[in-house]
Amino acid sequence: MKTRVTEKLGIEYPIIQGGMQWVGLAELASAVSNAGGLGILTGLTQATADDLRQEIARCRRMTHKPFGVNLTMLPSSVPRPYAEYVAAIVDSGVKIVETAGRIPEEFIRTFRQHGITIVHKCTTVRHALSAERAGVDMVSIDGLECAGHPGEDDVGGLVLIPAAARALKIPVIASGGIADGRGLAAALVLGAEGVNMGTRFCVTREAPIHEHIKQAYVAGSERDTALIYRTLKNTARVFRNEIAEQVRALEAQPGGCAFEDLRPLVVGTRGRAALESGEVHGGILSAGQCIGLIHDIPSCEELIERMVAECRERLSRASRWAAPDAADDRALMALAATESQP
């Protein structure tokens, strides 16, 4: 499958594993890359830049294929030494970064000076256009269906993907709501040249997540996610567990609430502990609406091979549906002859 995305990233299939906090470790990233997609290490999962260097080296021992590093810069009460993480990426010879949030121009210049391909994640066409002007190489566009932060515009992928593809000159990668070959086929038809998946890769054998969490996602439907932080204008889509419901209740109370009221429930260490222990109701767990499409826990290789085969089958079937038959041809010719008469 050849698109500008596969050609630029040096991968076999246009399938990218999104950077996910606590999940984007070498075990998962290398498995995705070995299967022909693009694995992504999550930079800020590592406590320090030196830890990131070690994780990059560990991933390189597990795959000889391309992989990238995610660097997300969102508002935080604890400032992170982003410049040190940038230096770790550059020094380690990584050639692909997935960025999100507000990326300083000097970081973009640094990446470009070192021949690093920049894939920027965003949730609106206007932000995608700004990223294109800033010099990124491709954009991953997140629809409302996605896990994590879908923005505040509430635009689904069926509209957002073709809108971005029409507006941008650089390649567009579809993100949010994609979990199988049907989603890959749809994204390609809508104008994207690849897909980005987070939740679907969480539910694979190589994902460093407790089996109980994976089984909860398999059992869940497309209605088992929740939007939180809406009143704080920092919307996030998460798995609908007891913690998410408590957060929503606090936000719904008269007068709303401040983030400090939510902090004990949503602190990142609780979410990380839940992923490791399997306590489904122990903390906030990111999950996209595509959990309604997830019914098993394959290896990354099995998942990608199945997606590619299903994508090709769906595109072939749609082509047959759209192909005009002889009667259609005669009708079109008759119509054209009629319209050409004075």
Query: 310 in a domain, yes or no?
Result: no
The residues pairing with 175 across neighbouring beta strands, listed in sequence order, are 142, 196
160 lies in the same domain as 267: no
216 and 230 together in one domain = yes
The pLDDT confidence band at residue 79, using thresholds 50, 70 and 90, is: confident
Contact 117, 137 (CB under 8 A): yes
pLDDT of residue 338: 63
Helix (H) or strand (E) holding 201: helix 199-202
CA distance 342 to 335: 13
* pLDDT at residue 332 greater than cutoff 70: no
Q: Are residues 14 and 107 in the same domain?
A: yes
Residue 66 lies inside a defined structural domain of this protein: yes
- When the pLDDT of each residue in the chain is averaged and rounded to a whole number, the result is 95
- Do both 270 and 216 map to the same domain? yes
Q: Is residue 268 part of a domain?
A: yes
Residues 67 and 124 in one domain: yes
3-class secondary-structure state, position 26: helix
| Same-domain check for residues 242 and 193 | no
Nearest one of 99, 94, 27, 92 to 67, comparing CA atoms: 94
Which secondary structure element, helix H or strand E, spans residue 53, and what is its range?
Answer: helix 49-62
155, 183, 208 — which closes off a domain? 208
Residues 119 and 10 in one domain: yes
pTM for the model: 0.93
**Residue 142 covered by a domain:** yes
Which among 68, 51, 314, 324 has a CA at the least distance from the CA of 173? 68
**Share above pLDDT 70 across residues of the chain, in percent, rounded to a whole number:** 95
Out of 277, 312, 332, pick the residue that ends a domain.
277
pLDDT 10s digits, 158-207:
999 999 999 999 999 999 999 999 999 999 999 999 999 999 999 999 99
DSSP 230-241: GGGT--EEEE-S
Contact, 70 vs 42, CB < 8 A? Answer: yes
**pLDDT value for 323:** 81
Rounded to the nearest 10 degrees, how much is the dihedral formed by the CA atoms of 273, 18, 195, 136? Answer: 150
Q: Which of 16, 106, 110 is nearest to 69 (CA)?
A: 16
pLDDT of residue 40: 98
Residue 289 within a domain: no
Token pair 């894939």: residue: 119
pLDDT digits (tens, 9 = 90+) for 256-313: 999 999 999 999 999 999 999 999 999 999 999 999 999 999 999 999 999 999 999 9
Q: Does 306 fall in a domain?
A: no
pLDDT band at 78 (very low <50, low <70, confident <90, very high): confident
Quick one: 194 and 61 in the same domain?
A: yes
Residue 98 within any structural domain of the chain = yes
| 225: containing domain | 212-277
Q: Are residues 85 and 220 in the same domain?
A: no
CA–CA separation, 265 vs 244, rounded Å? 9
- Of 277, 300, 322, the position where a domain reaches its end is 277
C-alpha–C-alpha distance, residues 4 and 197, integer Å: 18
Query: Which residues, 6 or more positions from 4, have their beta carbon under 8 angstroms from its beta carbon?
Result: 138, 171, 193
Place of tokens 């949030």: 101
Do 114 and 144 sit in the same domain of this protein? yes
Q: For residue 337, give every residue at least 6 positions away whose Cβ sits within 8 Å of its Cβ, in sequence order, or none.
A: none
Nearest C-alpha neighbor of 150 from the set 220, 230, 244, 214 = 230
Q: What is the per-residue DSSP string for 106-167?
A: HHHHHHHHTT-EEEEEESSHHHHHHHHHHT-SEEEEEPTTSSB---SS---HHHHHHHHHHH
Say whether pLDDT at 19 is over 80.
yes
Tokens encoding 151: 């923005």
Copy the structure tokens of residue 8.
Answer: 């630029």
Residue 340 lies in a domain: no
- Residue 196 has a pLDDT of 98
Residue 73: burial class (beta carbons within 10 Å; 0-12, 13-18, 19+): middle
3-state secondary structure of 17: strand
Which token pair is 129? 């256009």
Residue 234, amino acid: N
Could you give the CA distance from residue 172 to residue 16 in angstroms, rounded to a whole number? 12
State how far the Cα of 317 lies from the Cα of 100, in Å rounded to an integer. Answer: 36
- CATH code (residue 104): 3.20.20.70
Per-residue buried b or exposed e for 211-233, using 16+ beta carbons within 10 Å of the residue's own CB: eebbebbeebeeebbbbbbbbee
The DSSP bridge partners found for residue 119 are: 98, 138
Dist CA 32 CA 44 (whole Å): 20
Q: How many domains does the chain have?
A: 2
Residues 42 and 71 in one domain: yes
pLDDT digits (tens, 9 = 90+) for 99-138: 999 999 999 999 999 999 999 999 999 999 999 999 999 9
Together in a domain, 203 and 216 = no
